[in-house]
Amino acid sequence: MSEEKNRLTESILHAAVEFQILHAGEADVREIQAKYGLLAPRLLSAFAVIGSTPGITMSQAAARLRMRKQQMTPLAAQLVEKGYVERRRQEPERREIHLYLTSQGETVLQELFSIPRTWLENALDVTDSAHWDDIASAFEIVSAFLRGLHTAR
C-alpha cells in the first residue's frame, strides 16, 4: 500500500472512531428514538431515507438501504402503522408505491434531527466560515465514498 493511501486509510478510520464515540455518547438521541419506536437501526434508516427523498418508491428505498424489496416492505408497513409514512400510487404507473412522510412523520424527523443539527451548528460556530465550502465539498466526497464502500462489500 502506498504511503499516501495508508495515511488516508488511517485518517478515515480515526474519523470513524471519533464519530462512533460522539454518537454512542448521546443518550438524548436514543431517548427520542425510543419515544417514537425507532430504535431498530433498519427501521430508523428506512424512516430517514423516506424523509430525505419524498416520493421514493419501495424499490428505490430498498436499493438505497442495500436490501431486497421484500425486506423493505415490512419496514414501510411498520412506519405506516405508526402513522409516520403514507403510501401513494401515482399516475401513470399505478403499480409503483411511493412513500411520503405524514405531518406526524415530519414532526418526528425534525425532532430526531434537532440534536445532531445543534451539534453541527455549534461546531460550525467555532470553525472559520471561509472553510465552510471546503467542508461541504469534503462531506460530499465522503458521502460518495461511503456509498461506494457499501457496494464494495
Average pLDDT of the residues in 79-84: 97
Q: Is the whole-model pTM more than 0.85?
A: no
- Residue 11 within any structural domain of the chain: no
Residue range 84-110: mean pLDDT, rounded: 90
What local confidence, expressed as pLDDT, does residue 24 receive? 54
Cα–Cα distance, 79 to 43 (Å, whole number)? 8
Query: Is residue 109 assigned to a domain?
Result: yes
Q: What is the pLDDT of residue 82?
A: 97
Residues 5-30: tens digit of each pLDDT? 777 676 776 666 666 555 555 677 78
What tens digit of pLDDT does each residue of 107-135 get? 999 888 887 778 778 878 888 889 888 88
61 in Cβ contact with 49 (< 8 Å): yes
Q: Which domain holds residue 87?
A: 36-152
Domain presence at residue 77: yes
Per-residue confidence at 144, pLDDT binned at 50, 70, 90?
confident
Does any domain span residue 14? no
Average pLDDT of the chain to the nearest whole number: 83
pLDDT higher than 70, residue 60: yes
Q: What is the pLDDT of residue 104?
A: 97
Asked if residue 64 belongs to a domain, the reply is: yes
Nearest alpha-carbon partner for 143 in 32, 64, 78, 53: 64
Confidence (pLDDT) at 150: 58
For residue 98, the domain's CATH number is 1.10.10.10
Q: Per the domain annotation, does 46 fall within a domain?
A: yes
> Which contacts qualify for 108-115: CB closer than 8 Å, 24 or more apart?
108/36, 108/38, 108/47, 108/84, 109/47, 109/48, 109/51, 111/32, 111/36, 112/29, 112/32, 112/33, 112/36, 112/38, 115/26, 115/28, 115/29, 115/32
Q: Which residue has the higher pLDDT, 87 or 18?
A: 87
What band does 146 get if pLDDT is binned at 50, 70 and 90?
A: confident
**Considering the domain boundaries, does residue 25 fall inside one?**
no
How many structural domains comprise the chain? 1
Within-domain flag for 87 = yes
